[in-house]
Amino acid sequence: MGFLDRFKRRRRTNSANFSSYRNPKLSSRKPFEPKGEPRIRKTGFFARLLRGLKIAAILAAILGFFYALFFTDLFEIQQINVEGSSDTLEEQSSLNTSLQEYLGKNLLTVNVPQIEIALLEQYPYLQTLDVRRDFFHTLTVVLGTYPAVANVRVDYTDGSQQFFVINEEGYISATGISDESLATIVMDVTSTDATLPSTEETLPATDATGEMAESTETTVAKPSYTLNQELIDKETLDVLLQASKDFIGKFNMQVLEIHYLKQARELHLLTERHFTVWLDLTQDVNLQFTKLKKSLTSLNIYEADLNYIDLRISGQNGEKVIYRLNEQSL
């Protein structure tokens, strides 16, 4: 054996020889020992007691949590907050009063969807009515109204008039005023959809010469309109406003007033040139505008001194347009 052979790594083998079995220390394998049954760990009394206390503490915490949620004043309703724009002040006051019954109740158990449904039935003219929980002690109601879309002037047989502003659902949002930025609908009292109690206005009676009579008086019955009453049904309102919008777009001429004749089922558009366009609401309005558009080759509506244009009459070819000039132009 050389000097360098002493530093060489000896190769080990797992092969057993006869001497390995006789002397286990000479073998790389451990002798086989059969496994016995696993030992059962004995738990002491204090360990079992500690585990039971932990479980009891967890259950107590859960029960305490639910008790605090539902049986204490942690979520007790102590304030009713009603919000909305200035045109809902009356509703805000009314709701503040009616919702007082929820004071002292649990904020978590209050049925918010049911409250919203009940309130919307009571206030159908509101666009939004949201009820929400503001933790920890406030029930909040937010009111929203439909936008105003038109002025309405109601003409009476005695020459008097009433003015309203209505929203996109046809409900009255203001009385006695007009908004110059909105379209104006004119109709007589029979054209309204209001079925409201009437008030009688007493007027001095006159004789045939117009002089005051001695003892008799006449009364004029007028419907009593109030805020948030339906004046025009939404479907009709949409047709009236769309017809006006379409005329302006097709003929580049402004519409001053929209005259609605409910009983006749007609619509008269008073234009900026002070002639009216008569339309039949039982027929397609766009087809009637198309008929007028085709007639512009022979009828200059921008220069002629017209009194009215009647598009209601349907000819054999469906393009019959009747019009009348003012007397001074004849």
Give dist(CA 229, CA 193) in Å, integer: 10
Give dist(CA 184, CA 269) in Å, integer: 10
Which residues lie across from 270 on neighbouring strands? 257, 276
H/E stretch holding 99: none
112 and 165 co-located in one domain: no
88 and 103 co-located in one domain: yes
Q: Percent of the chain at pLDDT above 70?
A: 75
Give dist(CA 319, CA 321) in Å, integer: 6
188 and 243 co-located in one domain: no
| 3-state helix vs strand vs coil in the chain, percent to 5 | 30, 30, 40
Give dist(CA 282, CA 285) in Å, integer: 9
H/E stretch holding 51: helix 45-70
Q: Cβ of 271: how many Cβ atoms within 10 Å?
A: 19
Domain assignment of residue 11, yes or no: no
Among residues 130, 140, 257, 254, the alpha carbon closest in space to that of 187 is found at 257
Angle at 168 between CA 162 and CA 171, to 5 degrees: 45
Domain assignment of residue 52, yes or no: no
Domain assignment of residue 316, yes or no: yes
> Of the candidates 145, 169, 187, which is a domain's last residue?
145
Give dist(CA 185, CA 242) in Å, integer: 12
Domain containing 316 equals: 234-329
CATH number of the domain enclosing 87:
3.10.20.310
| Residue pLDDT, tens place only, 68-109 | 777 778 889 999 999 998 889 999 999 999 999 999 999 999
251 and 214 co-located in one domain: no
217 and 297 co-located in one domain: no
247 and 317 co-located in one domain: yes
| Residue pLDDT, tens place only, 137-162 | 999 999 999 999 999 999 998 889 99
> Residue 159: left (phi > 0), alpha (psi -120 to 50), or beta?
left
Domain assignment of residue 32, yes or no: no
> Of the candidates 204, 223, 242, which is a domain's last residue?
223
| Residue pLDDT, tens place only, 227-237 | 899 999 999 99
Q: Distances from the Cα of 221 to the Cαs of 41, 203, 225, 264, 330, in angstroms?
A: 100, 11, 12, 23, 42
256 and 324 co-located in one domain: yes
Kindly tell me if the per-residue pLDDT of 8 is higher than 60.
Answer: no
Kindly tell me if the per-residue pLDDT of 187 is higher than 90.
Answer: yes
162 and 79 co-located in one domain: no
Quote the pLDDT of residue 141: 96
3-state secondary structure of 309: strand
| Amino acid residing at 96 | N
Domain assignment of residue 297, yes or no: yes
Q: Which residues contact 209 (CB under 8 A, 6 or more apart)?
A: none
Quote the pLDDT of residue 314: 76
Domain assignment of residue 48, yes or no: no
| Amino acid residing at 121 | E
Quote the pLDDT of residue 126: 93
3-state secondary structure of 165: strand
Q: Cβ of 96: how many Cβ atoms within 10 Å?
A: 13
| Residue pLDDT, tens place only, 18-76 | 455 455 555 556 666 666 565 655 567 788 888 888 888 888 888 877 777 777 788 89
From start to end of 51-197, where are the E strands?
A: 79-83, 126-134, 138-145, 148-155, 161-167, 172-175, 183-188
> Of the candidates 145, 175, 200, which is a domain's last residue?
145
Residue 145 · residue 85 · CB < 8 Å: yes
Residue 174 · residue 164 · CB < 8 Å: yes
Query: Model pTM?
Result: 0.70
271 and 297 co-located in one domain: yes
Domain assignment of residue 294, yes or no: yes
Domain assignment of residue 206, yes or no: yes
Q: Residue 165: pLDDT band by 50, 70, 90 thresholds? A: very high
318 and 248 co-located in one domain: yes
Give dist(CA 94, CA 82) in Å, integer: 10
| Residue pLDDT, tens place only, 284-305 | 999 999 999 999 999 999 999 9
Residue 144 · residue 128 · CB < 8 Å: yes
CATH number of the domain enclosing 244:
3.40.50.11690
Q: Residue 197: pLDDT band by 50, 70, 90 thresholds? A: very low
**In total, how many domains does the chain have?**
3
